[in-house]
């Protein structure tokens, strides 16, 4: 299972994190987020990009800004966490064909999974998060049983309130479309700063093979 750690912005914290080699490292470019990233040392960007897929998280951003961030931060993936349309997704993908496009959706018990159909051909992955007014980062989980209603084959990231206390439940999700887990607020000491010790425990639980390789 792939691991994404999102909401990073402190340089020293990022350097500590990349020693764990997360598959994806998320930088939030949404000004309304408590984890908003304005800038980052370019030498650190180059260092991170060799070990993890740097993922830019955007919410209803102007396409030209997304394209600028892709170039500046060497983004390997873009996560769209707002009300972006299929046409918007298609435009970003066409301009950046080598960049993975992840479309996020806030999930609750009333979510209609058929709404995903127009996005199937313009995205690489979906991300299912807990529905919230702040576009993620709530630290709350949704009822993962609703994923039984998901009928498409598009692989997805699971997000929303995932922490050490419920990782065992994540591992019981029997779905080969579950591509990655997204770790964020439950591993923070403050918004944007992660507890590396807790993350290491999570990495070892989610992927014991990694632990064996490190020995």
Integer Cα distance of 215 and 213 in angstroms: 6
**Nearest Cα to 148, choosing from 113, 179, 181, 105?**
113
Is 124 assigned a catalytic role?
A: no
Please give the sequence-ordered ranges of beta strands (E in DSSP) within the chain, or none if there are none.
Answer: 2-5, 24-28, 53-58, 77-80, 100-107, 125-130, 156-158, 178-183, 188-190, 193-194
Residue 4's DSSP bridge partners are 24, 182
Q: Which residue's structure tokens are 């909401």?
A: 7
Full DSSP string of 36-58: B-----HHHHHHHHTTSEEEEEE
Cβ atoms 2, 127 nearer than 8 A: no
Is 115 assigned a catalytic role?
A: no
Choose, from 6, 23, 89, 182, the residue flagged as catalytic.
Answer: 6
Choose, from 23, 89, 129, 182, the residue flagged as catalytic.
Answer: 129
| 110 three-state secondary structure | coil
Active site residues: 6, 129
């Amino acid at each position: 299972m792939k691991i994404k750690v999102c909401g990073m912005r402190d340089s020293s914290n990022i350097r500590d994190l990349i020693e764990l080699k997360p598959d994806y490292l998320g930088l939030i470019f949404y000004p309304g987020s408590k984890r908003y990233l304005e800038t980052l040392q370019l030498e650190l960007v180059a260092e991170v990009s060799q070990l993890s897929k740097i993922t830019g998280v955007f919410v209803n951003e102007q396409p030209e800004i997304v394209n600028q961030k892709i170039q500046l931060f060497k983004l390997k993936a873009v996560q769209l966490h707002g009300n972006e349309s299929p046409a918007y997704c298609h435009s970003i993908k066409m301009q950046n064909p080598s960049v993975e496009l992840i479309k996020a959706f806030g999930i609750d018990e009333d979510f209609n999974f058929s709404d995903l159909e127009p996005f199937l051909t313009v995205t690489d992955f979906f991300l299912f998060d807990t529905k919230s007014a702040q576009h993620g980062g709530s630290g709350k989980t949704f009822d993962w049983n609703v994923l039984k209603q998901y009928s498409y084959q598009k692989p997805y990231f699971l997000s929303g309130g995932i922490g050490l206390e419920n990782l065992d439940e994540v591992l019981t999700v029997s779905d080969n479309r579950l591509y990655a887990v997204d770790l964020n607020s439950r591993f923070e000491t403050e918004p944007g700063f992660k507890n590396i010790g807790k993350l290491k425990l999570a990495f070892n639980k989610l992927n014991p093979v990694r632990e064996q390789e490190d020995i």
